[in-house]
Amino acid sequence: MMLDMEMNKIHIENLNVFAGRQQILKDININIPKNKITVILGPSGCGKTTLLKCMNRLTDLYPELKVTGKVLINDKNVLDPHADIVTLRQYMGLLMQRPYPLPMTIYNNIAYGLKLRGVKSRRDLHKQVMHYLQLANLWDEVRHRLREPASRLSIGQQQRLCLARGLAVNPEIILADEPTSALDPISSQYIETKFTELKNDYTIVLVTHVLRQARRIADYVVFMYLGEVIEQGTVEEVFGNPKMEKTKQYLGGTFN
């Protein structure tokens, strides 16, 4: 598979993240291809979540973190302090490691992002809420309880609600941090299949610990270890013929 520069959606250049003296991310350079699924692999604590948070600058919320380098999306540097970060964040739908439903009804959890995007009429809202809930395979379970607080849903349902909510801002990129870790095999399978469909319209960056899942759905793979990118390449390259010793160990399960 050829990965042409023109086809890249996100360019990460010399990204460093420090927390005090500790360096969490070390000189990261990644090109994330458009309309593909890029999977980020690596042992716990290697900086995967931090990398995702840099992409939509949620690192702003942690004053102890110092971020340098560039994250270019549509040729705009997200990390530029003058960037219109509110708009840039709407290019990206985020699915976090744990679901955080907004403190409102199931319906309004979806409508919130739609309204921020400028959808006004009640009919459009209604139609789109339904559409995105269907997309996340949640509609049948919640169609009769749309006015209930979202916090009453089970964790797996909340996870799918967050997927629907993230898609509803109509992003170009989906950032997903272990989105299937709280799900049963069936929902998890569903999300996986959904992602492979969604990549026609979106660029997907997915963090996962499940190697089999990575192998099934990844187009591009980034392997990280202790804050560094050890190896990156197409799924065939990284899984089929890993160059680095660390990658071989990790994929072979003999990692320590």
Partner 1 sequence: MKRSKKIEESFFKVLMVIATYSILAVLALIMYSIFAKGIKAMSWEVLTTVPSGGYYYGKGGGILNAILGSLSLAFGATLLAFLIGLPVALYINVFLVRYKNAVRMIRFILDLVWGIPSIVYGAFGFSMMILLGIQTSLLAGTITVTLFILPIMIRSMDEILRTVPIGLSEAAYSLGSNKSELAFKIFTRQTISGIITAILLSFGRGIGDAASVLFTAGYTDNLPNSLMEPVATLPLSIFFQLSSPVPAVQDRAYASALVLTLIILLVSLFSRGLGKRYHKTKINF
Positions in the binding site for ligand ATP (CB under 6 A): 19, 24, 42, 44-50, 62, 64-65, 97
Least Å from the CB of residue 70 to partner 1: 20
Angstrom distance (rounded) from CA 195 to CA 198: 5
Q: Rule CB under 5 A: is residue 128 a binding residue for Mg ion?
A: no
How do strand 22-33 and strand 203-207 relate by DSSP bridges?
A: unpaired
Residues in Cβ contact with 63 at an 8 Å cutoff, skipping those fewer than 6 apart: none
Contact, 171 vs 91, CB < 8 A?
yes
Contact, 247 vs 43, CB < 8 A?
no
Q: Rule CB under 5 A: is residue 213 a binding residue for Mg ion?
A: no
Residues in Cβ contact with 115 at an 8 Å cutoff, skipping those fewer than 6 apart: 125
Which residues from 32-71 bind Mg ion, rule CB under 5 A? 49
Least Å from the CB of residue 212 to partner 1: 27
x-or-dash pattern for partner 1, window 51-90, by CB under 8 A? --x--x-x-xx-x----------------------xx-xx
What would the 3-class secondary structure string for 1-39 be?
Answer: CCCCHHHEEEEEEEEEEEECCEEEEEEEEEEEECCCEEE
Q: Rule CB under 8 A: is residue 113 a binding residue for partner 1?
A: yes
In this complex, which beta carbon is closest to ligand ATP, that of residue 44 or of residue 121?
44
Residues interacting with Mg ion, by CB under 5 A?
49
Binding-site ranges for partner 1 (CB under 8 A): 53, 56, 58, 60-61, 63, 86-87, 89-90, 92-94, 96, 98, 100-104, 112-113, 116-117, 149, 151-152, 155, 162, 165-166, 169
